[in-house]
């Protein structure tokens, strides 16, 4: 375990992330920060009181300031507003950019060596804001989207094939939006190419459902967006870092020539270990996948250019 992990934002994603981090004992202390007075304190106390039942020794602390967050090893940024029905992730751009900027300024002063995992949407642009404002190297700024999008894809495939989710290997790349790129050529079930197990039309329907997986949940919830799977995804990234697992997970990373692209965050296969991003893995893509990834990059660049820092 590490000494301290801070979760900024004690809303749906943030509080669930804090609880999961503590239950896995990934840090001695899990700090939850939010601007809402009383919310992080109350939730933190409630969560800490689950420790004797769940049997974890991680301490959870809720606060409105950054004193308790000093020298965090990892910081998960979930602060911001979430989508409501009819909203795209890009609709959150200016509000969340202001919030992530303010949070990043605090982090720069109080935890200059932290590894950041950005969750706030629009994810790829908010990761850029966090990196730009903190001035942290790309090894220490990662966006969470691909792990979630891949989990959605895997869960739909497992359901359709009536097999264990554990046996579905897959990877969803690109930006965290409708242009995301589920890689059919790298999707398999215990090593068996997915195309041998499912007709293409059915597979394409699942790919489409994955692309709109977030909106499907927003439509049901009406007042907010998904948080159980998103928090699980953020915690999987934390775990890979804390335990130096060297896992290869799809994460939003700052590209410097990989996949022929530079100067943007985009979902690519990343090796995660104790210091954060250890490597970006470049896999061969079909012509179609390359085109889809380029289109996805364009969809990230547009709001990135519009954001004011």
Ligand X SMILES: NC(=O)c1ccc[n+]([C@@H]2O[C@H](COP(=O)([O-])OP(=O)(O)OC[C@H]3O[C@@H](n4cnc5c(N)ncnc54)[C@H](O)[C@@H]3O)[C@@H](O)[C@H]2O)c1
Residues that bind ligand X (CB under 6 A): 8-14, 33-36, 78-83, 92, 96, 99, 102-103, 119-121, 123, 144-145, 148, 176, 224-227, 230
- Shortest Cβ 82–ligand X spacing (Å): 4
- Shortest Cβ 83–ligand X spacing (Å): 6
Judged by beta carbon, residue 76 or residue 203, the one nearer ligand X is: 76
Judged by beta carbon, residue 103 or residue 270, the one nearer ligand X is: 103
Q: What is the CB neighbour count within 10 angstroms for residue 76?
A: 30
CA distance 80 to 96: 5
Task: Note if 176 is an active site residue.
Answer: yes
**What 8-state DSSP symbol labels residue 68?**
G
Contact 291, 284 (CB under 8 A): no
Q: In degrees, to the nearest 5, what angle opens at C-alpha 149 toward C-alphas 54 and 160?
A: 90
Contact 58, 26 (CB under 8 A): yes
- Shortest Cβ 190–ligand X spacing (Å): 27
Strands 247-256 and 192-193, bridge-based pairing: unpaired
- Shortest Cβ 229–ligand X spacing (Å): 8
DSSP states along 144-203: --HHHHHHHHHHHHHHHHTS-GGGEE--EEB-SSTT-EE-GGG-EETTEEGGGTS-HHHH
Contact 270, 253 (CB under 8 A): yes
Judged by beta carbon, residue 10 or residue 74, the one nearer ligand X is: 10
- Shortest Cβ 10–ligand X spacing (Å): 5
Judged by beta carbon, residue 194 or residue 299, the one nearer ligand X is: 299
- Shortest Cβ 150–ligand X spacing (Å): 11
For residue 246, the surrounding DSSP H or E stretch is none
Catalytic residue selected from 4, 43, 140, 176:
176
DSSP states along 84-148: -TT--GGGGHHHHHHHHHHHHHHHHHH-TTPEEEE-SSSHHHHHHHHHHHH---GGGEEE--HHH
Nearest alpha-carbon partner for 173 in 156, 150, 190, 202: 150
Q: How far is CA 276 from CA 84, 103, 266, in A?
A: 32, 20, 16
Judged by beta carbon, residue 97 or residue 198, the one nearer ligand X is: 97
Judged by beta carbon, residue 198 or residue 252, the one nearer ligand X is: 252
Name the residues annotated as catalytic.
Answer: 176
């Amino acid at each position: 375990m590490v000494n301290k992990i801070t979760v900024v934002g004690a809303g749906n994603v943030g509080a669930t992330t804090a609880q999961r981090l503590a239950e896995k004992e990934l840090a001695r202390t899990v700090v939850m920060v939010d601007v809402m007075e009383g919310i992080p304190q109350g939730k933190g106390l409630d969560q800490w009181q689950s420790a004797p039942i769940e049997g974890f020794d991680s301490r959870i602390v809720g606060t409105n300031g950054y004193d308790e967050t000093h020298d965090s090893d990892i910081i998960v940024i979930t602060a911001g507003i979430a989508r409501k029905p009819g909203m795209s992730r890009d609709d959150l751009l200016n509000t969340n950019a202001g919030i992530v900027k303010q949070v990043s300024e605090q982090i720069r002063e109080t935890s200059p060596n932290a590894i950041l995992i950005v969750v706030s949407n629009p994810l790829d642009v908010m990761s850029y804001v966090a990196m730009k404002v903190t001035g942290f190297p790309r090894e220490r700024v990662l966006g969470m989207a691909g792990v979630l999008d891949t989990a959605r894809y895997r869960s739909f495939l497992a359901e359709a094939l009536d097999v264990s989710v554990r046996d579905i290997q897959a990877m969803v790349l690109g930006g965290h939006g409708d242009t995301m790129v589920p890689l059919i050529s790298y999707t398999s079930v215990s090593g068996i190419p997915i195309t041998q197990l499912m007709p293409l039309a059915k597979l394409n329907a699942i790919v489409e459902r994955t692309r709109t997986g977030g909106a499907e949940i927003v439509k049901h919830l009406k007042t907010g967006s998904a948080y159980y799977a998103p928090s699980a995804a953020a915690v999987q990234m934390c775990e890979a870092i804390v335990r130096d697992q060297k896992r290869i997970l799809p994460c939003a990373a700052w590209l410097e020539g990989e996949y022929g692209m530079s100067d943007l965050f985009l979902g690519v296969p990343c090796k995660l270990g104790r210091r954060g991003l250890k490597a970006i893995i470049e896999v061969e893509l079909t012509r179609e996948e390359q085109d889809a990834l380029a289109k996805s990059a364009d969809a990230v660049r547009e709001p990135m250019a519009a954001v004011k820092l």
